[in-house]
Amino acid sequence: MVSPNRKFALRSAVTATSPQLVDHSTKPEMSTVRIALANLRYAATPDQSVALAQAAVRQASAEGALIVCFPECYVPGYRATGRIVPPIDEAFLERAWSAIANVAAEADVAVVLGTERVVDGAPRLTAVVIDRDGTIVGFQDKVQLDPSEGSFYSPGIQRECFQVGPLKFGVAICHEGWRYPETVRWSAQRGAHIVFHPHFAEAEPGGYQPTSFADPLNTFHEKAMLCRAAENSCYFASVNYASDGSPTTSAIVHPDGTVLAWQPYGKEGLLVADVDTAVATGWLATRCRTM
């Protein structure tokens, strides 16, 4: 069990303040890392979202994963049309993070948890990163909000890279990963082996319901997953909720743009795969010439 003081001691992360780009030509080979994506159902209540997240962390440990990533705002639940989520409760969020951090420490598994928080009185969509010892490493706020979110949430102001064991990673949340490739390239240019992409997408009336990943008849979104990996020479791991008829599913894409693994549509559970950090060179990302 981790003490409360230790658990909430924020450790410094790599921030967007004039960072140095990584020289990948001298990057040493690292070990294979097992990751997990928690493709879970939308919880009926905020308390249930915490319980389901805790169970998924324990399952990730049993599967031998180093880290598990959850969908966008999994705790307390994404505030989508037709979904009833109580007003933001900072005390609840603190308790939820603490409860999940305790399980992370017991299970020896790092966590990227889609959630929300309040900064200077303004709510933000975010992902809290918890290390394997239960320490909260930091947050990646959603910088590029979907237009539908701007009336309620405030955008973040910087990007972060995080390190857990041999794995360096960034986080791009939903809309920003689909529509703003720069949010993924930023992390790859700074040495991230993988960019996690928590998102929320569910069936709309009359919408196409795919059964095969990146179906040509489907929207562009899953094709964008392939592009984010291939254009940056890094892994891209996108995680959605499990729901009937969902237009996207959870998937892990290799740095060459091929699909390493994907979750059957609507099937709840963990998507687990081994990634080879040595092939996540970031080479194409670092070749990008900008003024």
8, part of any domain: no
- H/E element holding 154? none
- Residue 202 is assigned to a structural domain of this protein: yes
How many domains, the chain?
1
Residues with Cβ < 8 Å from 189, sequence gap 6 or more?
A: 21, 22, 282, 285, 286, 288
- Which residues constitute the domain of residue 51? 32-286
pLDDT mean by block of 10 residues, the chain; 291 residues: 35 36 41 96 97 98 98 97 92 98 98 98 98 98 96 96 97 98 97 98 94 96 98 98 97 98 97 98 94 63
18 part of a folded domain: no
Residue 19 lies in a domain: no
CATH code assigned at 64: 3.60.110.10
Distance CA 230, CA 39 (A): 23
Instruction: Give the pLDDT score at 291.
Output: 63
Residue 4 resides in a domain: no
CA angle 255, 67, 227 (to 5 degrees): 25
Residue 78 has what DSSP assignment? Answer: -
pTM, rounded to two decimals: 0.90
For residue range 209-260, list pLDDT tens digits in order: 999 999 999 999 999 999 999 999 999 999 999 999 999 999 999 999 999 9
CB count in 10 Å sphere of residue 127:
29
pLDDT score at 68: 98
Distance CA 103, CA 92 (A): 17
Identify the pLDDT of residue 290.
Answer: 80
